[in-house]
Amino acid sequence: MGRRQDLERRQTLLARFGRRISSETRLDSLLTLLAEEVRHILGADRCSVFLVDTARGELWTKVALGVGEKVLRVPLGQGISGFVAKTGSAVNVRDAYRDIRFSEDVDKLTGYRTKSILAVPLKDRDGKAIGVFEVINKIKGFFNEEDEGFLRLLATIAAASVENAMLYDTLRRSHLETIYRLAMVAEYRDQTDTAKHLRHISKYSAIVAAQIGMPYQTVEDLRYASPLHDIGKVAIPDAILLKPGKLTPEEYEEMKKHPLYGARMLENAETPLLQLACRISLAHHEHFDGTGYPSGLKGDQIPLEARIVSVVDVFDALTTKRVYKGAWSLEETFQYMANQAGRLFDPMVIDCFNKCLPQVKEILAEEQDTKTEEQK
Ligand code: C2E
Ligand code: SIN
Ligand code: SIN
Ligand code: FE
């Protein structure tokens, strides 16, 4: 390709680059998109985007492996990426293995062989390094000064998007944290491990919703809204909520008001997320056959999100110990739930939940792992 054509090609790609990355607010997808675009534009075989984690004094990047991906962390100052982040200067090497700054960690993990590397810093508005762009193994020849200038330009454009996405990320996380803490208030009295119960409700609901084929945003909303389903329990007296034995019919009548209490606390919410939480609170004890409470709704009169939470709530209630009951085994629980398809539960949701069994087991096994780790 001639120089002029090459320049024109790059200009076209540059325009596309700006367009594509500016519409991506999710950090995860943005990083993937950046790596793909930059690799393509620079004619490199690979591209890694490293981000600075100030709190830990590290750089991290996602490394694609045969199956899935892994987060790799390097101390600031270590490796070529660490050098670039620390000094703010670019590095261009033809043979990485002959450069003492190079760290072989990534190669060791992926089995890939790095030869040439061009690395430039990603800087924020104040000129502070927030990350590093690395293009690896130029397909034809070596990276030259023109490549370097171009990569710097891409880094400047990308930095603003990365900063934005990080901001969104923090916002989303603080939003989620607030919701979780709110949910904790309602449940910490009657659960031995509130955080775990809420995590389960959140994860299981999202897994089932995804299995059903709900759109990404709905799945995420459900992930965040579902832990609030029992928020109304804050209004239930200790004498009822914490009773070690069976409730009297009067006590149970009082208990059955918690969906309404919750809905009242969340009603007229402004955000779609809390509106969803309101619908879930109100309807998570409705039964598919119309025998539930508080309204006796039937079938698809019950919002789908509530039908999902109903299934995962009972599942988690049965498989964990409560003040009033012991824990059931997974087998017993699945059998009971299958039996209740069409009665308590939407058969379609039960069907999808059954398909999620491997993921549910994985979540439970992971917890077992962390427990053993902690005991060591
Ligand atoms: P929870 O403990 O979160 O239980 C949620 C739902 O899981 C229950 O809704 C029920 O559908 C199912 N579930 C829980 N434990 C059992 C069980 O041992 N057997 C069967 N078949 N299903 C079970 P439900 O019944 O509408 O209860 C709502 C809430 O009322 C419960 O939330 C719990 O906080 C309270 N509750 C229910 N029964 C009792 C009880 O006997 N004693 C006390 N102290 N609280 C109870
Ligand atoms: C892309 O179009 O962004 C990547 C295509 C490639 O270079 O393989
Ligand atoms: C490093 O920054 O030294 C590691 C380079 C790589 O991404 O392979
Ligand atoms: Fe409930």
Same domain, 49 and 93: yes
Question: What is the 8-class DSSP label of residue 267?
Answer: T
Residue 197 located in a structural domain: yes
Strands of the sheet with 117-123, listed across from one edge:
69-75, 58-64, 44-53, 129-138, 117-123, 91-93
Same domain as 238, residue 310: yes
C-alpha of residue 113 to centroid of ligand 4, in Å:
55
DSSP state of 341: B
Residue 200 and residue 65 share a domain: no
Structural element, H or E, at residue 53: strand 44-53
pLDDT of residue 136: 95
Kindly report the number of other CB atoms within 10 A of residue 178's CB atom. 11
Atom of ligand 3 nearest to the CA of 102: 3
CATH of residue 94's domain is 3.30.450.40
Mutate to test the pocket of ligand 3, among 59, 91, 93, 106 (most ligand atoms within 8 A of CB): 106
pLDDT at 376: 45
**Which of 312, 322, 329 gets mutated to test ligand 1 (max ligand atoms within 8 A of its CB)?**
322
Distance CA 321, CA 312 (A): 15
- Give me ligand 4 centre to Cα 104, in Å: 52
Q: In a 10 Å sphere around its CB, with 0-12 CB exposed, 13-18 middle and 19+ buried, how is residue 264 labelled?
A: middle
Euclidean distance between CA atoms 11 and 1, whole angstroms: 15
| Single residue among 107, 135, 167 that ends a domain in this structure | 167
- Based on the fold, state whether residues 129 and 197 are members of the same structural domain: no
Distance 165 CA to ligand 3 centre (A): 24
- CA 20 – CA 37 distance, rounded (Å): 9
The reply to whether 180 falls in a domain is no
Domain match, 161 and 231 both:
no
- Ligand 4 centroid to Cα of residue 61, in Å, is 41
Instruction: Verify that 226 and 287 share a domain, yes or no.
Output: yes
Domain match, 163 and 192 both? no
133 inside domain: yes
Q: The whole model's pTM is what?
A: 0.71
Q: What is the pLDDT of residue 337?
A: 96
Calculate the alpha carbon distances from 34 to 54, 151, 283 in Å.
21, 12, 43
Which of 71, 81, 99, 135 is the best mutation target for the ligand 3 pocket, counting ligand atoms within 8 Å of the beta carbon and taking the most? 81
Identify whether residues 322 and 290 lie together within a single domain: yes
Among 171, 190, 305, 316, which Cα is nearest to 241's?
190
Asked whether residue 306 is domain-assigned, the answer is yes
- Asked if residue 229 belongs to a domain, the reply is yes
Per residue of the chain (376 residues), give pLDDT as tens. 677 887 888 889 889 999 999 888 889 899 999 999 999 999 999 999 999 999 999 999 987 766 678 888 988 889 999 999 999 999 999 999 999 999 988 888 888 999 999 999 999 989 999 999 999 999 999 999 999 999 999 999 999 999 999 888 888 888 888 888 888 887 777 666 778 888 999 999 999 999 999 999 899 999 999 999 999 999 999 999 988 889 999 999 999 999 999 999 999 999 888 999 999 999 999 999 999 999 999 999 999 999 999 999 999 999 988 888 889 999 999 999 999 999 999 999 999 999 999 999 999 988 877 665 545 4
Q: Clarify whether residues 82 and 224 are in a common domain.
A: no
* 255 alpha carbon – ligand 1 mean position (Å): 10
Looking at the 3D structure of the chain, how many domains does it have? 2
Least distant ligand from the CA of 306: 4
1 Cα distance to chain centroid: 43
- 234 shares a domain with 145: no
Task: Answer yes or no: is 245 within a domain.
Answer: yes
**CATH number for position 292:** 1.10.3210.10
Within 13 Å, how many C-alpha atoms sit on residue 15's CB side? 5
- Coil vs helix vs strand at 206: helix
Query: Does residue 100 share a domain with residue 193?
Result: no
Residue 284 belongs to domain spanning:
188-375
Rounded Cα distance, 304 and 285, in Å: 13
178 located within any domain: no
Contacts of 146 (CB under 8 A, 6+ apart): none
For atom 7 of ligand 2, which residue has the closest CA? 40
Given this model, what pLDDT does residue 65 score? Answer: 67
Residues 73 and 106 in one domain: yes
Assigned domain for 341 exists: yes
d(CA 114, CA 102): 10
Cα(91) to centroid of ligand 2, in Å? Answer: 24
